[in-house]
Structure 1
Amino acid sequence: MSSAYAQLACPDCGLDDPRIIAKQLLLDDIPISIWTDKSTYDHNDTIIVEGRVANVVSGVPVTLTVTSSLHSIITVDQIVVDNMGNFATILSTEGALWKHDGRYIIKANYGSAEKNSRVLVELVNGVVSESISKTCGQSELDVIGNCVPFSISGGTVNRVNVNTNDNSIILMISANVDGTITLSPSKDVLEGPFMVLVDDEQWDDAEINGNEITVMFLAGAEKIEIFGTHVIPEFGAIAALILAVAIISIIAVSAKSRLSIMPRY
């Protein structure tokens, strides 16, 4: 089974083993855990996904998101949690969205973005994903195979990372003097509005013009992180529906709160 807690799917196995007991206690404390029956699958297979929620909130489902090795979302689903905190579902690896070999991330969220768990599975004997080999120019940064125009003064860019969870590009730089850096990512790479952190601190010394971002940094700065938002259709119709329901719920709660503080005559 895939996941450090997969062996716990058999609740009666190894009850006398203190290591199993310790892991069971740990599992009860973790907000949400997820595992699969195997770690490797064919493209005509089924993935059995199981999990556990430590603290059950009545009526709140687990949201399951599957992402492919090409960073595209395969499916989004909601799973009912039973009174004991257990949940399970079955995924089919048939179909065009699952055709590529490689690692797939199965991520479970419960109630909030902080309460999440994920597991990796490998699909084999299908279409091998073509590796993106693109040579960027001197005035471009390679961001997961995409060449992003940039310019920098007062420093150099050492490394570029992408944080897919937070929709951000992370630039690791060396700066001996005060300087500026300008990026012009396409909307396929990063789409605004934008927020900027410099060395993990919110940074207001930045200018945004469309999809062009200019950040002024101080000598000694090492990390610049630029956050963007993605277009909702990238997540598919189910995710859009989930988002719509969440927004409606927030509006309803806000309206109820306003009514509760209105003076009564």
Structure 2
Amino acid sequence: MSSAYAAGEIPEACVGCSMEDAKATANRMLQKALPVSVWTDKADYGHNDMIKVTGQVANVASGYPVTVTVVSPLNSIVTIDQVSVTQDGTFETTLNTAGAMWKYDGTYTIKVNYGSTEKSNSAKVELTGGEAYSPNYNTPTKTKQCGGNEFSANGQCIPFTISGGMVTGASLNTNDNSIVIMINAKNDGTLTVTPTKTTIDGIFMVLVDGQEWDDVEIVANKVTVKFLAGAEKIEIIGTHVIPEFGTIAAMILAVAIISIIAVSAKSRLSIVPRY
């Protein structure tokens, strides 16, 4: 039975471990200088189950959370959570497999990171009873890998910290010049986002679940939002947001068409006889 995994190795999750057994196994692994360990209560789940994730770090650094990232069989990020570490080095969180991001059957990888890439680990669980994944689906086979304290929005890696909940997804809205962040707020909490100015600029407003929000601090491109338990969507609005490739392509096409029309018109004028 293995409940802690060496970096680069992803064996089966610890099945049916009691907390005492799990801690004992983790401690044995920690004696071998493993910086962080992680395990789950089962190895197999349905698509409406709760996954209990538990782990331990070897050396506790005050104020530093463990970042938990779940990656789907399509190699896309399902959810990101930041979990507090207790004084004895343990951490625990629960993942809900209900929702569109968990709809495919297959192997989901639960990755944990504690401050650096050297202090990382992972475990695998299997989900069944949902949609079968086919490699022929129109989905990207490779996605940009963001760091443990970043979420991905249309391929852009955006640094963040969150307390009281977890980020479940994000996207860029080019129509409203905004970053849309989906969260699962278990308690009242705070979200801090620091996008680059090439991603979004001129930030002036924040909406929480569609309502203009006052409990916000905006300093340059650093945005801190205090949200209430149950909040689901935070939208950060600016004067500019990086356009998607399709928008850029449309702009280039439009400029090209205008240029062709202008050149054609000039050519016709040049061959009109003058009297």
TM-score (ref. length: structure 2): 0.47
Provide TM-score, normalisation by structure 1.
Answer: 0.48
Pick the structure with greater CA Rg: 2
